[in-house]
Chains A and B, each alone.
Chain A
Amino acid sequence: MLLSLLSFLALSGPPTPKYQADAIAPALRENAHAVVRAYDEVVTVKSASQVIKTVHRVVTVLDEAGSDDYGQLAVPYDALSRINYLRGAVYDAQGHLLHQLRAAEVHDQGLGSEGGSFMTDLRMRYVDLRQPATPYTVELDYEVASENTLFYPDWQPQHSENVSLEGATLQVTTPTALPLRFEEQLLPAGAAIAPVVAGNQTTYRWQLPASAAMEEEPLAPPLDELLPAVHLAPATFEVQGHAGSLASWQSLGQWTYQLGKGRDVLPPALTATMAQLMITYPDPRARARKVYELLQSSTRYISVQLGLGGWQTAPASSVATGGYGDCKALSNYTCALLKAAGLPAYMALVGAGADHADVRSSFPSSQFNHAILCLPLAARGATPADTVWLECTSQTTAFGYMGSFTGNRHALLLTPEGGRLVATPRYGAQANRQQRRTDLWLAADGSAKATVRTHRLGLAQDRYAQLLHEADAEEQKKYVSNRLHLSHFTVTSLRLTSAPVATPQALPGVLETLGLDLPGLATPAGRRLLLEPNLLGHLAALPAQVGPRQAPLALPPASLSQDTVRLHLPAGFKVENLPQPVELTSPYGVYVSRYVALPDGTLQYVRQLELRRPKSATLPPSIYTDYLSFRRKIGQADNAQLVLIKTDA
Chain B
Amino acid sequence: MTGLPSLVWGQGKVPPPIKFGQPDAKDFEAKSFEADSGATAVVLCDYGVSQFSSTAGKMTITTERTTRLKILKKAGYEYATVEVPLYHQEERAERLNNLHGFTYLPGADGKITKIKLEAGGSFEEKRSNNLTVRKFTMPNVQEGAVVEYSYVVTSTFFDNYQDWTFQHDIPTRWSEYRTSIPQVYQYKILYQGYVPLTTNEVGTGSVNLLLARHVSDGAGPGAGMEVGTTSLTMSTEQHRWVIRDVPAFREEPYSTTRSDYLARMTFELAGIQMPNEKYQDLTDSWPKKNKVLMDSEIFGKAFLDSKFLASAMKPLIAQYPNEAARAAAVRELVLKAVKYDGTNRYWASGPLKRSYELHRGNSADVNLLLIAALREAGLAVVPVLLSTRSHGGVSEQYPLMEQFNYVVALVALPDNKELLLDATEPLLPCGLLPTRCLNKIGHTVPETGEGRWVSLVPSQRYSHYQEVSLTLDAEGNLSGQVHEEHGGYAGLEAREKLQELGEKKYVSQLAAAHPGWEVPSYTFKGLTEVEQSLGLNYELRQAASTAGTAQELYVALLEPFGERQNPFRHAERNYPVDIGMFQQEVIRVTLKLPPGYTAELPKPATLALPSNGGRYMFAATSPTPGTVQLLSRLNLDKPVYTANEYAALRELYRQMLAKQAEALVIKKSG
Q: How far is the CB of A263 from chain B (nearest CB, A)?
A: 16
Name 18 interchain pairs, CB-CB below 8 A, sorted by A. Answer: A65-B500, A98-B359, A110-B126, A112-B127, A112-B133, A119-B123, A128-B341, A469-B74, A472-B38, A472-B73, A472-B248, A473-B37, A477-B570, A520-B661, A523-B662, A577-B547, A639-B516, A641-B554
Q: How far, in whole Å, are A404 and B37 apart by their CA atoms in the complex? A: 30
B335 adjacent to A470 (CB under 8 Å): no
Q: How far is the CB of A371 from chain B (nearest CB, A)?
A: 20
Q: How far is the CB of B299 from chain A (nearest CB, A)?
A: 21
Q: Which chain B positions have C-beta within 8 A of A269?
A: none
Interface centre among B73, B75, B121, B426 (most CB of A within 10 A): B75
Q: How far, in whole Å, are A134 and B241 apart by their CA atoms in the complex? A: 55
Q: How far, in whole Å, are A323 and B341 apart by their CA atoms in the complex? A: 44
* B39, closest chain A residue (CB): A472
Q: How far, in whole Å, are A215 and B508 apart by their CA atoms in the complex? A: 13
Instruction: Flag the segment in A10-18, A224-232, A480-488, A502-510 that touches B.
Output: A480-488
Within 8 A of B (CB), among A508-540: 519-520, 523-526, 528, 530
Q: Which chain B positions have C-beta within 8 A of A525?
A: 554, 662-665
Q: Which chain B positions have C-beta within 8 A of A638?
A: 515
B339 at the interface (CB under 8 A from A): yes
A133 adjacent to B336 (CB under 8 Å): yes
Q: How far is the CB of B362 from chain A (nearest CB, A)?
A: 11
Q: How far is the CB of A8 from chain B (nearest CB, A)?
A: 26
Q: How far is the CB of B165 from chain A (nearest CB, A)?
A: 20
A544 adjacent to B518 (CB under 8 Å): yes
Q: How far, in whole Å, are A638 and B128 apart by their CA atoms in the complex? A: 53
B128 is contacted by which of A110, A128, A300, A484 (Cβ under 8 Å)?
A: A110
Q: A263-306 toward B: CB 8 Å interface, digit per residue (1/0)?
A: 00000000000000000000000000000000001101010100
Extra inter-chain contacts (6) besides given A113-B133, A577-B549, CB under 8 Å: A162-B502, A302-B137, A488-B657, A528-B554, A543-B511, A577-B548
Q: How far is the CB of B162 from chain A (nearest CB, A)?
A: 22
B475 at the interface (CB under 8 A from A): no
Q: How far, in whole Å, are A298 and B142 apart by their CA atoms in the complex? A: 6
Chain B interface residue number, banded:
35 or more
B547 adjacent to A640 (CB under 8 Å): yes
B402 at the interface (CB under 8 A from A): no
B143 at the interface (CB under 8 A from A): yes
A530 adjacent to B515 (CB under 8 Å): no
How many A residues face the partner with a CB closer than 8 A? Answer: 77
If A110-B128, A525-B665 touch, whether A520 touches B75 (CB-CB below 8 Å) is: no
B127 adjacent to A109 (CB under 8 Å): yes
Instruction: Flag the segment in B406-414, B454-462, B561-569 that touches A.
Output: B561-569
* A540, closest chain B residue (CB): B512
Q: Which chain A positions have C-beta within 8 A of B665?
A: 525-526, 528
Q: Which chain B positions have C-beta within 8 A of A641?
A: 546-547, 554
Q: Which chain B positions have C-beta within 8 A of A98?
A: 359
B120 adjacent to A322 (CB under 8 Å): yes
Q: How far is the CB of B630 from chain A (nearest CB, A)?
A: 14
Interface centre among A482, A487, A542 (most CB of B within 10 A): A487
A490 adjacent to B571 (CB under 8 Å): yes
A132 adjacent to B120 (CB under 8 Å): no
Q: Which chain A positions have C-beta within 8 A of B55?
A: none
Q: How far is the CB of B82 from chain A (nearest CB, A)?
A: 11
If A323-B140, A641-B547 touch, whether A132 touches B512 (CB-CB below 8 Å) is: no
B389 at the interface (CB under 8 A from A): no
* A473, closest chain B residue (CB): B38
B75 adjacent to A469 (CB under 8 Å): yes
Q: How far, in whole Å, are A577 and B547 apart by their CA atoms in the complex? A: 8
A498 at the interface (CB under 8 A from B): no
B127 adjacent to A321 (CB under 8 Å): no
If A99-B358, A130-B341 touch, whether A113 touches B565 (CB-CB below 8 Å) is: no
Q: How far, in whole Å, are A67 and B83 apart by their CA atoms in the complex? A: 33
B606 at the interface (CB under 8 A from A): no
Q: How far, in whole Å, are A118 and B37 apart by their CA atoms in the complex? A: 28
Within 8 A of B (CB), among A534-567: 541-544, 546
A362 at the interface (CB under 8 A from B): no
A131 adjacent to B141 (CB under 8 Å): no
Q: Which chain B positions have C-beta within 8 A of A113?
A: 83, 125, 133, 135
If A298-B142, A474-B38 touch, whether A488 touches B512 (CB-CB below 8 Å) is: no
Q: How far, in whole Å, are A523 and B137 apart by their CA atoms in the complex? A: 56
Q: Which chain A positions have C-beta within 8 A of B548?
A: 577, 643
Within 8 A of A (CB), among B466-500: 499-500
A108 is contacted by which of B128, B141, B360 (Cβ under 8 Å)?
A: B128
Interface residue SS majority, chain B: mixed
Q: How far, in whole Å, are A414 and B338 apart by their CA atoms in the complex? A: 56
B74 is contacted by which of A322, A396, A523, A544 (Cβ under 8 Å)?
A: A396
Q: Which chain B positions have C-beta within 8 A of A486?
A: 565
Q: How far, in whole Å, are A30 and B632 apart by their CA atoms in the complex? A: 40
A73 at the interface (CB under 8 A from B): no
A324 adjacent to B141 (CB under 8 Å): yes
B600 at the interface (CB under 8 A from A): yes
A366 at the interface (CB under 8 A from B): no
Q: Which chain B positions have C-beta within 8 A of A298?
A: 140, 142
Q: How far, in whole Å, are A463 and B549 apart by their CA atoms in the complex? A: 43
Q: How far is the CB of A429 from chain B (nearest CB, A)?
A: 25
Q: Which chain B positions have C-beta within 8 A of A109?
A: 127-128
* B74, closest chain A residue (CB): A395
Interface centre among B125, B341, B357, B545 (most CB of A within 10 A): B125
B40 at the interface (CB under 8 A from A): yes
B499 adjacent to A64 (CB under 8 Å): yes
Q: Which chain A positions have C-beta within 8 A of B639?
A: none
A478 at the interface (CB under 8 A from B): yes
A471 at the interface (CB under 8 A from B): yes
Q: Which chain A positions have C-beta within 8 A of B250?
A: 474, 478
Q: How far, in whole Å, are A636 and B547 apart by their CA atoms in the complex? A: 12
Q: Which chain B positions have C-beta within 8 A of A470?
A: 74-75
Q: How far is the CB of B621 from chain A (nearest CB, A)?
A: 18
B658 at the interface (CB under 8 A from A): yes
A542 adjacent to B139 (CB under 8 Å): no
A481 is contacted by which of B40, B338, B556, B569 (Cβ under 8 Å)?
A: B569
A579 at the interface (CB under 8 A from B): yes
B547 is contacted by which of A473, A490, A579 (Cβ under 8 Å)?
A: A579
Q: How far, in whole Å, are A343 and B127 apart by their CA atoms in the complex? A: 44
Q: Which chain B positions have C-beta within 8 A of A128?
A: 341, 360
A95 at the interface (CB under 8 A from B): no
A487 adjacent to B657 (CB under 8 Å): yes
B499 is contacted by which of A65, A324, A579 (Cβ under 8 Å)?
A: A65
B264 at the interface (CB under 8 A from A): no
If A524-B662, A543-B509 touch, whether A302 touches B81 (CB-CB below 8 Å) is: yes
B653 at the interface (CB under 8 A from A): yes
* B358, closest chain A residue (CB): A99
